[in-house]
Amino acid sequence: MRNPSESDLLSRTLNPLKLGWWIYFPELGSTNDQALAWAKAGAPDWSLVVADSQTKGRGRNERRWVTQPGTGLAISLVLRLSEIEKGAITRFTALAALGLISVLERLGLHAEVKWPNDILIDGKKTAGILVEGDWSGQHLDALVVGMGVNVSHGAVPEATKLRYPATSIENALGVPVNRWEILADILKSMQSLRQTLMDETFIDLWNHHLAFRGQWVVLKQHNQPVQEVRIIGIDQEGGLRVDYGDRKNRTIVSGEIMVSERGES
């Protein structure tokens, strides 16, 4: 009897779930690119692209996210949004983040969202999310939600290549995990959370898991000097409310949190 392939193992895990199309690649350039092509080809809601190895994955600002074989999750979902959901596109990054966080917490790990699109375990990056749209002019046809997750130690880049401290699920747990079971649990959590996406409780949950809330951090914004701000929380549109020290809250819609500075205030 032959040993089951990765595709066989993934089939056993995913087939019981309520998905649209799904496909597995031993190696792929970018799962998001494949998912965007699928979206244009009519892929239904909750269609999934999975790659064992991803060579040209990307994060925000076109940064590379490489997935080594057998070490992590490289996935992208095609989501067809309702008209009301189209008014809350920014919440879909949090949908993926909170889906993963709920799984990590069931494993006993403390996880948070580093605004806007990273997931931290004990302050170290373990996953990143990239959301892209399939547009016809001004009309959004589909949303693609891509996620890269460091599952085992081999997924964590060398320290000299890191912009931010990183870890993996197995490093944090100290024991091996089944990455396909992790994937299935993430998808189930996301499907459950999507039912509350438009509720106030969704923003409350996002804020509950927001990293550095109430703390001073260094914030980098495009074409602006690096500034120190205190994080207040997430608003209804997914923007980051911050205090520059004058106690007048402002909302940031794009930027990057670099490091934590002073701590709580």
Give residue-wise pLDDT tens across range 189-236. Answer: 999 999 999 999 999 999 999 999 999 999 988 878 888 999 999 999
Q: What is the pTM for the complete model shown?
A: 0.92
Which CATH architecture describes the domain 6-208? 2-Layer Sandwich (3.30)
Q: List, by residue range, all CATH 3.30.930.10 domains of the chain.
A: 6-208
215-264 placed in CATH 1.10.287: no
Look at residue 1 in the predicted model and tell me its pLDDT: 39
**Does residue 176 carry a pLDDT above 70?**
yes
pLDDT > 70 in the chain, percent: 91
Q: List, by residue range, all CATH 2.30.30 domains of the chain.
A: 215-264
Mean pLDDT along residues 170-182: 96
**Does residue 61 carry a pLDDT above 60?**
no
Least confident of 14-28, 49-63, 65-79, 109-123: 49-63
- Average pLDDT along the chain: 91
Biggest CA-to-CA distance, the chain: 69
